Amino acid sequence: MRVTIKDIAKKAGVSIATVSYIINNTKPVTPETRDKVLQAIKELNYRPNYSARGLANYRTNLIGVLIPYWDEDTKQGVMFDNPFYSELVRGVEVVTSKHHYHILLMGISDRPQAVTNLVQQRDLDGLIVVGAYQELVASLTKIEIPVVLVDTYAEHSRFYTVQIDDEYGGYLATQYLLTMGHEKIGLLTGELFPQGVAVRRFQGYKKALAERGLEVNHKYVYETKISTQGGYEGIDHLLQQAPDLTALFSMADIMTIGILKRLREAKLKVPDHLSIVSFDGVLYPEFLNPALTTIDQDIFEKGRIAATLLIKLIFGEKITEPHVVLPVTLAARESVKELK
Amino acid sequence: MRVTIKDIAKKAGVSIATVSYIINNTKPVTPETRDKVLQAIKELNYRPNYSARGLANYRTNLIGVLIPYWDEDTKQGVMFDNPFYSELVRGVEVVTSKHHYHILLMGISDRPQAVTNLVQQRDLDGLIVVGAYQELVASLTKIEIPVVLVDTYAEHSRFYTVQIDDEYGGYLATQYLLTMGHEKIGLLTGELFPQGVAVRRFQGYKKALAERGLEVNHKYVYETKISTQGGYEGIDHLLQQAPDLTALFSMADIMTIGILKRLREAKLKVPDHLSIVSFDGVLYPEFLNPALTTIDQDIFEKGRIAATLLIKLIFGEKITEPHVVLPVTLAARESVKELK
């Protein structure tokens, strides 16, 4: 049996309204009344019901974390296939648990309506959305609760954002390969849509090549899914259309695992046959074979900052930095060979 | 503005009660009335509010997934530090999304009261609890909603369980090392509490040794946290108290990463100086250096089965298999050397 506000009122000998004033801090009451009610709450071990609080427009202490699906049809590669997301949620959880908030975790497909429904149905206090695409961003502009976007390029002023310098990451990866003597540099990229990180990393790739007086050879670029399967199939396509590649910039560690798998099957060695720079640094790259040269980002910190921003927004605190851009660094390990 | 049941009633020209009967399927109404209401719902794009439904004892379409904290004080190593958990949640999500259920994700500390509060406050329809310990199990027996325990040994008849054959896993790891000529086999184990998986794997270790006429040398066993840090510090302690070890059974991949780190710093090679069998197979073991010999389990499937069980319980369907035990297999790779 759940203890209700009614039980508290009965036990304390006050009206239900009075109990409600005290619980929700909506009206002052005398200290004696307050003490009586708090005593009853303690004795009956009463806990407020967040569903009920949600109804009355109180905070529900619930935020949504929305993560994109890769493949709605097959449900393959759904969200957590990429350890990136678990690391991010870990950062979020560290903050929310401190503020007694709970996380509603949801994959999002390409139906943006699902998100507005979710916010309404669950009375969410706020949303963290990772990697949102155009239709979703448009749909999010209409939502009345605070929204923090992670890894999403959206111009709309209502959004708070946390991201890395993706263009610089792509530039850094490519420039490193150039300094190591490579010019035939492939790019295995995630989906290139305007709000995404992949387009920016591609820009960085272009920029580094341009500085060297090189143009993008479209045979060297292949767009695929950010998953092991995407990497496995992608490298196959790429090497068929451009067998002369000496190096590769892979846009995500999870994709690189698929690449390593396919190369191993084809008896092609990294870095002897193909040098690789990967992105994220999330899969313990120093213990992979070969130790993977990566563009590292602090994904845990991304989640932590996104949640900190969101909680501040929910509590109406002042936001001094609405758009946070975290740094990326190159960690040179053993997957790139110098071309002489 | 949220569309409410009141708006529907107004639009359809019927009473609020009538709309409620139709939405919640609680009373029959005439086909004409039904059509009018459904038309209004469609036109106004009404979505039921789950918080409100929760209040009236309807389903909230919300389940909790509870994951243990490793370190309440520092919040270090909290849940998703171990990719095991993301893989499990992925399996859960594949099932819940199909049934239009949402996941409330929560770390649990050693305060079991938090869980009963959570169930009440959120009107959860069901719970999946991973790796529950004694006090928590006791507290869960009092919860009135369906509970599926993962990786928890609990005798109470109210629980449904999904696990692997942990004892056999420990046996398999140790027996393999024995057949490879090792007798000085260390064990780096997670916390040994009665409901946990570690005790069973330890039993398997003992059993394999006993078959070979060997007893457990307590200098060879070290209990630590299931985290990279736990592995890093654990192997240090273990090698100090037992420098003669030739092999090690590490109870989790995430711990093994810490072990590899420490051994590399100490310039000790795997498997030349120390052979290792790890457990889980979750960190792409074939691409680690050296490719890791592991006891593999299907963690995604564990999550999938737990969620399937829970959804069936919530819908009152018949459960033919209340206790599911999934198989483990040994994948021999390169981290064990044959001792001649």
Would you say residue B332 lies in a domain?
A: no
Relative orientation angle of helices B5-12 and B31-44, to the nearest 10 degrees:
120
Scan residues 49-68 of A and list those with Cβ closer than 8 Å to B: 49-52, 54-55, 60, 62
Chain B residues closer than 8 Å to A81 by CB: 90
Minimal Cα–Cα distance from B240 to chain A, Å?
Answer: 24
Beta bridge mates, B105: A103, B65
- How confident is the model at residue A79, as a pLDDT? 57
Same domain, A178 and A264: yes
Residue B53, domain member (yes or no): no
Does residue B55 fall inside a structural domain? no
Q: Is the pLDDT of residue B268 over 60?
A: yes
Q: Which residue of B has its CA nearest to A254?
A: B284
Model pTM score: 0.82
The reply to whether B73 touches chain A by the CB within 8 Å rule is no
If asked whether residues A134 and A253 sit together in one domain, one would say: no
- For B144-171, write each residue's pLDDT tens digit: 899 999 999 988 888 999 999 999 999 9
User: Is the domain of B176 the same as that of B279?
Assistant: yes
Same domain, A122 and A88: yes
Q: Find the CATH number of the domain harbouring A235.
A: 3.40.50.2300
B116 vs B128 pLDDT, higher one: B128
Is residue B219's pLDDT more than 90? yes
Whether A72 has a pLDDT exceeding 90, the answer reads no
Coil, strand or helix at B339: coil
Tell me, yes or no, whether B105 and B43 share the same domain. no
Q: Which residue has the tokens 């000496």?
A: A246
Asked if pLDDT for residue A322 goes beyond 80, the answer is yes
Percent share of chain A, pLDDT over 70: 89
Do A170 and A289 belong to one domain? Answer: yes
pLDDT of residue B25: 54
Residue A24: its pLDDT value, please?
A: 61
Q: Does the structure show a pLDDT above 50 at B56? A: no
pLDDT score, position B29: 75
The answer to whether residue A98 sits within a structural domain is: yes
What pLDDT is attached to residue B164?
97
| Window A:131-170, CB contacts with B under 8 Å | none
Nearest chain B residue to A261 by CA distance is B287
Q: Of the candidates B97, B123, B288, which has its C-beta nearest A107's C-beta?
A: B97
Q: Is residue A330 part of a domain?
A: no
Where does the pLDDT of residue B2 fall: very low under 50, low under 70, confident under 90, or very high at 90 and above? low
Number of domains in chain A: 3
What are the chain B neighbours of A79 within 8 Å (beta carbons)? 90, 93
DSSP string, A104-157: EEEEE-S-THHHHHHHHHHT-SEEEEES--HHHHHHHTT--S-EEEES-----T
Q: Is pLDDT at B53 greater than 50 in this prediction?
A: no
pLDDT at A329: 98
pLDDT for A26 equals 60
Say whether the peptide bond before residue A290 is cis (omega within 30 degrees of 0): yes
Q: Beta-strand (E) ranges in chain B?
A: 62-68, 102-108, 126-130, 147-150, 160-164, 185-189, 221-223, 247-250, 275-280, 293-296, 323-326, 329-331
Query: A305 and A250, same structural domain?
Result: no
Question: Are residues B217 and B306 both part of a single domain?
Answer: no
* pLDDT for residue A194 is more than 50: yes
pLDDT, residue A17, reads 81
Q: CA angle at residue B205 from B200 to B206, to 5 degrees?
A: 95
Question: Contact A48/B121, CB-based, under 8 Å?
Answer: yes
Q: Which of residues 253-282 of A touch B (CB under 8 A)?
A: 257, 260-261
Helix (H/G/I), strand (E/B), else coil: A215 = coil
Any idea what the CATH number is for the domain that residue B27 is in? 1.10.260.40
* A148 φψ region: left (φ > 0), alpha (ψ -120 to 50), beta (else): beta
Query: Are residues B201 and B151 part of one domain?
Result: no
The mean pLDDT value for A68-82 works out to 57
Q: Is residue A113 part of a domain?
A: yes
Mean pLDDT score, A26-51: 72
Q: How confident is the model at residue A56 (pLDDT cuts 50, 70, 90)?
A: very low
Least confident range of A75-89, A277-291, B40-54, B237-251: B40-54
Shortest distance, CA B191 to any CA of chain A (angstroms): 22
B331 domain-assigned: no
Return the SS3 of B122. helix
Which of A32-41, A77-86, A151-160 has maximum average pLDDT?
A: A151-160
> Which amino acid is residue A192, in one-letter code?
L
Task: Flag if B78 and A94 touch (Cβ within 8 Å).
Answer: yes
B9, pLDDT greater than 70: yes
The residue of chain A with its CA nearest to that of B62 is A104
In this structure, the answer to whether residues A185 and A265 fall within a common structural domain is yes
Contact of B284 with chain A, judged by CB distance below 8 Å, is answered with: yes
Candidates A261, A264, A287, partner chain B, best to mutate (most B CBs within 10 A)? A287
Segment B61-85 mean pLDDT: 69
Structural domain includes residue A334: no
More confident residue, A32 or A113: A32
Of B87, B122, B289, the CB nearest to A80: B87
Q: Print the domain residue range for B175.
A: 166-297
* Cβ atoms of B329 and B295 closer than 8 Å: yes
Q: Are residues B15 and B83 in the same domain?
A: no
Q: DSSP for B144-167?
A: -S-EEEES-----TT-EEEEE-HH
Chosen for mutation from B4, B44, B105 (greatest number of chain A CBs closer than 10 Å) is: B105
Nearest CA in chain A to B51: A51
**Which chain A residues are closer than 8 Å to B289 by Cβ?**
287-291
Question: Of B51, B89, B287, which is closest to A288 when you measure between CB atoms?
Answer: B287
Amino acid at B264: R
Interface check B75 vs A, CB under 8 A = yes
Same domain, B101 and B216: no
CA distance A261 to chain B (A): 8
Does the beta carbon of A315 lie under 8 angstroms from any beta carbon of chain B? Answer: no
End-to-end CA distance of chain A: 76
Flag if B102 and A123 touch (Cβ within 8 Å).
no
Tell me: the pLDDT tens digits for B287-332? 999 999 999 999 999 999 999 999 999 999 999 999 999 999 999 9
pLDDT single digits (tens) A124-178: 999 999 988 888 888 888 888 999 999 999 888 889 999 999 999 999 999 999 9
Q: What is the mean pLDDT of residues B55-77?
A: 67
Contact A67, A108 (CB under 8 A): yes
More confident: B71 or A294: A294
Contacts of B79 in chain A (CB under 8 A): 90, 93
Top pLDDT among B54 and B252 is at B252
**Interface contact A290, partner B, CB < 8 A:** yes
Average pLDDT estimate for A219-225: 96
| Best CA proximity match to B227, nearest among B106, B111, B84, B86 | B84
CB-based contact, A85 to chain B, within 8 Å: yes
